[in-house]
């Protein structure tokens, strides 16, 4: 069931989303050569808890940390580790959520670690832009398929591929709500977008094949062919005036 939020509920969500966004900004500033992914996770957790919120991912389905930190060919759900030390040229996806006042915020960004290759930068640029192409289509009266189609068309025109096994989702009192929000699809298909809907749009885009696999830890998801992957995400609200991004730090 798709839950439409009232003005009061959207206000509560904005606070959760703002904390999520600020935590993500802190994480991004910490992405430097020589830093472990666990150090970044610790910064995220401390910031969220200092705001009186709870990290949405901590313990979710058994996930052991506060942020998913995915490096290079890891698409999503990378488990932070003191053994994973970032190096120059890595691309680092950080996915963060915060829960406060009964509601969640959820956002992700892929950061360059030092100087990265032109090819990696092009992937980041295309994935980020595809997110905003999707958001542009999140107009009341449109359908979920309009969002996914916009993302898919933009990246496939640039010879990248869209991950099929994982998709965006509704966000609210639960971290994952209806509807599912694929990053591929057909215009005019899927649930209609209505004011009060809150969704996470999150393109996961690979440089090579779209195929992915989950490792033995049952979380870490990597590209099958070892190609680079990027991930960008905003939580947005559908309003009568169009989409509003909730996960902005200011």
Give the SS3 label for residue 3.
coil
pLDDT for 250 equals 82
Q: Which residues contact 87 (CB under 8 A, 6 or more apart)?
A: 33, 34, 113, 114
pLDDT for 167 equals 98
For the chain, which ranges sit under pLDDT 70? none
C-alpha R_g of the chain: 17
CA-CA-CA-CA torsion sign (165, 171, 177, 183): negative
Answer whether 109's CB lies under 8 Å from 93's CB.
yes
Continuous H helices in 66-165: 118-136, 144-156
Residue 80 has which token pair? 């932070």
| Cα 233 from Cα 24, distance rounded (Å) | 11
Answer whether 192's CB lies under 8 Å from 171's CB.
no
Domains of the chain: 7-245 (3.90.230.10)
Answer whether 2's CB lies under 8 Å from 177's CB.
yes
For the chain, the distance separating the N- and C-terminal CA atoms, rounded to the nearest angstrom, is 31
| Neighbouring-strand partners of residue 237 | 198, 244
| Cα 124 from Cα 127, distance rounded (Å) | 5
pTM of the model: 0.98
**Angle, CA of 116, 44 and 161, to the nearest 5°:** 45
Give the SS3 label for residue 151.
helix
| Cα 17 from Cα 2, distance rounded (Å) | 19
Beta strand ranges found along 17-142 (DSSP E): 54-55, 67-71, 74-76, 91-100, 103-112
């Amino acid at each position: 069931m798709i839950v439409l939020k009232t003005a009061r509920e959207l206000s509560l969500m904005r606070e959760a989303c703002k904390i999520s966004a600020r935590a993500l900004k802190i994480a991004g500033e910490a992405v430097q050569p020589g830093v472990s992914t666990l150090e970044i996770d610790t910064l995220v957790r401390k910031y969220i808890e200092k705001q009186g919120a709870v990290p949405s991912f901590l313990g979710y389905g058994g996930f052991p940390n506060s942020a998913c930190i995915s490096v290079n060919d890891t698409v999503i759900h990378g488990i932070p580790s003191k053994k994973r030390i970032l190096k120059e040229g890595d691309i680092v996806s950080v996915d963060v959520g915060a829960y406060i006042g009964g509601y969640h915020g959820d956002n992700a960004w892929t950061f360059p670690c030092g100087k990265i290759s032109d090819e990696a930068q092009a992937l980041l640029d295309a994935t980020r832009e595809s997110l905003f192409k999707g958001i542009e289509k999140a107009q009341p009266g449109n359908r979920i398929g309009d969002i996914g189609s916009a993302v898919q068309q933009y990246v496939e025109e640039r010879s990248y591929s869209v991950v099929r096994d994982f998709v965006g989702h509704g966000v609210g009192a639960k971290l994952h709500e209806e509807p599912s929000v694929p990053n591929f699809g057909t215009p005019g298909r899927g649930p209609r977008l209505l004011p009060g809907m809150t969704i996470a749009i999150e393109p996961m885009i690979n440089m090579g094949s779209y195929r992915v696999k989950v490792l033995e830890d049952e979380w870490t998801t990597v590209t099958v062919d070892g190609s680079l992957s990027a991930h960008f995400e905003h939580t947005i609200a559908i309003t009568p005036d169009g989409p509003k991004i909730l996960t902005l730090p200011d």
